[in-house]
Amino acid sequence: MRGRNPLNGRDLHCPEGARIVGRIDESDGIFTLRLRPLASSAAPRFGPGQFNMVYLFGVGEIPISIVSDPESDVLLDHTIRRVGRVSEGLARLQPGDCVGLRGPYGRGWPMERARGRDVIIVTGGLGCAPTVSVINYIINRRGEFGRLSIVQGVKRAQELIYRDRYEAWRGVPDTRVLLAADEGNGSWPWHVGLVTDLFDELAYEPSRTLAMLCGPEGMMVAAVRRLLRAGLPEEAIFLSMERNMQCALGLCGHCQYGAKFVCTDGPVFAYPELKAWFGTRGY
């Protein structure tokens, strides 16, 4: 919608109120808020990989990817790590409290291009959140996609979230779930080490595979290198990037990444779009 916040059809900078109708503590410091916009009876349509700006009264807005199912028409789930002024405050809110919401924004994952292909999803840390809707999208249309591989890495074992989801996805036909922690613990039955250590266990046909990466840049650099070496074409690798975002409208300049605005050109990019500077430290 031109010049408008899609949630309320009003000024594009201005959020709309949204009620917290559910809250899940995912791990120490990570929580999910389930939001219902106050103004609209139905949540706006969004695509996997898109994000909303979530506003905390008196403090400000942060970009948070939408975790919920794109098919759901009334509720929007956002998984948030308690790490800054806004997220610390959001962590203290409870069902019944109100936040502000603008969105959805950004270019999400290339679901149409992924159709008919094997899909590899490689995530690190909270990078798993922006891919949950991809996984649900594929599972809801299981016959339309090839083999699905889900690879998630965390620094410490106790930081793994969505454990129930991973267990459930393990049972989906033609789906592999591989988990890794740099530091394991007594209740960590999976790989101890890097996500890229697990790539040899993946089953895919490189010429008809699409890879979706989201997580710390160092992890993505290593994953891109491995996937290219395995024979994936550059244009079959997609990365979700993260930069400071304040407007989400391509105006404020904070998410500048090379010649791209992450908020409007991305956050999901095909690797060739970023190749000239991807991995350059401090860029």
Partner 1 sequence: MSRQPDVPSSMVFLPHEGLSGLLDHLRSEGYRCLGPVVRDGAIQMEPVAHPDAFPIGFRDRQEKGTYALEDAGDARMFAFANGPQGLKPWLFSPRETLWHVARRGTALAFEPAEIDAAPLAVIGIRSCDLAAIAIQDRHFLGGARPDPAYAARRGGLFVVAVNCTHAGPTCFCVSTGDGPAARAGFDVALTELEDGFVAAAGSERGERALAGLGLAPAGGAREAAAHERVAAAGSAQTRSLPGRDLQAALLANLLHPRWEAVAGRCLSCGNCTLVCPTCFCHCEREEVSSGGASAEHYREWDSCFSEGHAFIHGLQVRPDIRSRYRQWLTHKLGGWHDQFGRSGCVGCGRCITWCPVGIDITEEAAAVCGAATP
Told to check if 23 binds partner 1 by CB under 8 A, we report no
Told to check if 3 binds partner 1 by CB under 8 A, we report yes
Least Å distance, CB 199 to partner 1, is 25
Told to check if 95 binds partner 1 by CB under 8 A, we report no
Which residue from 28, 58, 187, 229 is in contact with partner 1, where contact means CB under 8 A? 58
Told to check if 167 binds partner 1 by CB under 8 A, we report no
User: How many other β-carbons are positioned within 10 Å of the β-carbon of residue 140?
Assistant: 11
Which residue from 41, 96, 143, 171 is in contact with partner 1, where contact means CB under 8 A? 96
- What part of residues 100-159 is at the interface with partner 1 (CB under 8 A)? 100
- What part of residues 206-245 is at the interface with partner 1 (CB under 8 A)? 242-244
> From CA 122, how far away is CA 282, in angstroms rounded?
23
Which residue from 50, 52, 87, 209 is in contact with partner 1, where contact means CB under 8 A? 87
Told to check if 282 binds partner 1 by CB under 8 A, we report yes
**Which tokens is 125 given?**
């840390």
Contact set with partner 1 (CB under 8 A): 2-3, 10-17, 19, 38, 55, 57-61, 81, 83-84, 87, 96-100, 242-244, 246-247, 249-254, 256, 258-261, 264, 276-277, 280-283
